Amino acid sequence: MDAKLIKIDSLNFHWKKNSDFQLSVPSLTINEGEKILLLGESGSGKTTLLSLICGFISPLSGNITLGNTSINELNAKNRDRFRADNIGIIFQQFNLLPYAKVIDNILLPLYFSKQRSSRLNNPYQTALDLCNSLRLPEQTKNMKASTLSVGQQQRVAVARALIGNPSLIIADEPTSSLDMSARKIFLDLMFSQISENQSTLLMVSHDPSLADHFDRTINIEDIIERSH
């Protein structure tokens, strides 16, 4: 399993309005199935890097390749479609549409990705199975997302990111709003589920103590070149 999933080559980016912030990533490779922890202080450009990989923003120069696709060469519409097909995203918190039922939240990515929904024979059952393996009680499926505890909400977000087997899961400090015990439960459940799905995980955090869970830890300071 040494096929490369993410390959970044001489990437350059800066926000237009805030041009003293500049991000350069000369080279970064992540293999398929790897679980990577990306460590960095806040403001170090972690989230910007994630946004670039997800194709929310485009680099000034350089290349980002996901699988066989050079996402910086796609237009905005195709980037959106590519993201829907290939990437599951978990935020720090407030991951879910608060007014929608848990089950709808989990199924929604399938609505935007034919590729992901075509992998499932019975999406509804798959969603229930995911809930089950993530230890979400049966009755939560029809509850409004906003009525769940934060820990449960984060697990629903994992189910949503995983449904339809996207090749890459991106998590932006998903544990920062959880207490220590909830954090451990959450990480254990997430890891076992990601392993089962054989997805690649790129998780961002500022907490080095999480490193044990991961195959590899990358410190953001080691891969970026900053020029003020």
Joined together, the tokens standing for residue 68 give 């066989």
Of the candidates 142, 139, 172, 179, the one whose C-alpha atom is nearest the C-alpha of residue 157 is 172
Joined together, the tokens standing for residue 138 give 């049966």
Residue 148 exposure: Cα atoms within 13 Å on the Cβ side: 30
Alpha helices in 134-179 (DSSP H): 150-162
Q: Is 124 in the site for other proteins (CB under 8 A)?
A: no
Nearer to other proteins, 9 or 85 (CB): 85
Joined together, the tokens standing for residue 228 give 């003020």
Nearer to other proteins, 112 or 195 (CB): 112
Range 68-72, long-range pairs (CB < 8 A, 24+ positions): none
The interface region with other proteins, picked from 4-12, 80-88, 181-189, 218-226 by CB under 8 A, is 80-88
- What's the closest the beta carbon of residue 181 comes to other proteins, in angstroms? 25
The interface region with other proteins, picked from 20-28, 67-75, 93-101, 192-200 by CB under 8 A, is 93-101
- What's the closest the beta carbon of residue 134 comes to other proteins, in angstroms? 18
Q: Are strands 61-66 and 4-14 parallel, antiparallel or unpaired?
A: antiparallel
Q: Is 51 in the site for other proteins (CB under 8 A)?
A: yes
Q: Could you tell me how many residues of this chain bind other proteins (CB under 8 A)?
A: 35
Q: Facing residues of 123 across strands? A: none
Q: Which of 2, 18, 77, 227 forms a contact with other proteins (CB under 8 A)?
A: 77
Close Cβ partners of 215 (under 8 Å, ≥ 6 residues apart): 34, 35, 36
Q: Is 48 in the site for other proteins (CB under 8 A)?
A: yes
Reduced to 3 states (helix: H, G, I; strand: E, B; else coil), residue 160 is helix
Nearer to other proteins, 26 or 98 (CB): 98
Q: Is 85 in the site for other proteins (CB under 8 A)?
A: yes
- Interface residues with other proteins (CB under 8 A) are 47-48, 50-51, 54, 56-57, 76-77, 80-81, 83-85, 89, 91, 94-101, 104, 107-109, 111-113, 144, 146, 160, 172
